[in-house]
Amino acid sequence: MNKAVILANGEFPKSKIPLQILENNNFLICCDGAINNLLKINVKPNLIIGDLDSINEELKVKFVDILIKIPDQNTNDLTKAINWCVANSITEVTIIGATGKREDHTIANISLLVKYIKLLKVKIVTDYGVFTPISKTTKFISEKGQQVSIFSLDCNSKISSENLKYPLQNLQLESWWMGTLNESVDNNFTIICDDESRVIVYQTLV
């Protein structure tokens, strides 16, 4: 086992692709508060991780064998789940349910992707698209017409692109809006950046 799916406690997915990921996973980790919605689609997790403040006593008893309590208040439940994956030699993680509900939680979860990239291969899948962090020049599989946005967490990094409708040429993305609303013009595109950059690429689901 080197791949896992993590269900965070944001808005539960409604669209086909993230639901299929949940239903066809090899190993599913559920952040504690998300278990309530997961049970509605009759999917059982392999582990439930968190500070366990969002799960009722009945479910604590039902799932006692797969509960992992991590009381540390300096990290959120999603980070606790990621850290467990790293400690258990999981190298690739897909996160579902990381957006929606409170906007501050959404921003925090997306921005944390660049921290996780040094630990394992990771992405967030939503009802609408996929967020992928990169720290070096990366080629993405795409489709012509797919909508693409690029967010840099380092305003001094210079970013270029290939196969995007509006090319980036050594552009410093000083504000989050500057790399948004682009479009792939082929079956792949490339984001060119310096090593150790902190960039998040968003692709709409197609």
Query: How do residues 151-183 score in pLDDT, each as one tens digit?
Result: 999 888 899 999 999 999 999 998 889 999 999
117 with 16, same domain?
yes
Identify the sign of the CA torsion 198, 123, 99, 28: negative
165 with 68, same domain?
no
Of the residues 127, 149, 164, which one is the last residue of a structural domain? 127
Tokens, residue 110: 């997306």
34 with 56, same domain?
yes
Q: For residues 109-131, b (16+ Cβ closer than 10 Å) or e, as one string?
A: bbebbbebbeebebbbbbbebbb
Query: Which residues fall within 8 angstroms of residue 201, CB to CB, at 6 or more apart?
Result: 131, 132, 133, 134, 138, 140, 148, 149, 150, 151, 191
Percent of the chain with pLDDT over 70: 99
Whichever domain contains 112, its CATH number is 3.40.50.10240
Exposed/middle/buried for residue 9 (C-beta within 10 Å: 0-12, 13-18, 19+): buried
pLDDT band at 1, cuts 50/70/90?
low
Total count of domains within the chain: 2
Whichever domain contains 139, its CATH number is 2.60.120.320
Of the residues 104, 127, 150, which one is the last residue of a structural domain? 127
**pLDDT at residue 74 above 80?**
no
For residue 153, the enclosing domain spans 134-204
Q: Are 186 and 139 in contact (CB under 8 A)?
A: no
Q: How many helices (H) and strands (E) does the chain have?
A: 6, 14
Query: How do residues 118-140 score in pLDDT, each as one tens digit?
Result: 889 999 999 999 999 999 999 99
86 with 165, same domain?
no
Identify the sign of the CA torsion 25, 202, 37, 14: negative
Distance (Å, whole) CA 98 – CA 10: 5
**pLDDT at residue 73 above 80?**
no
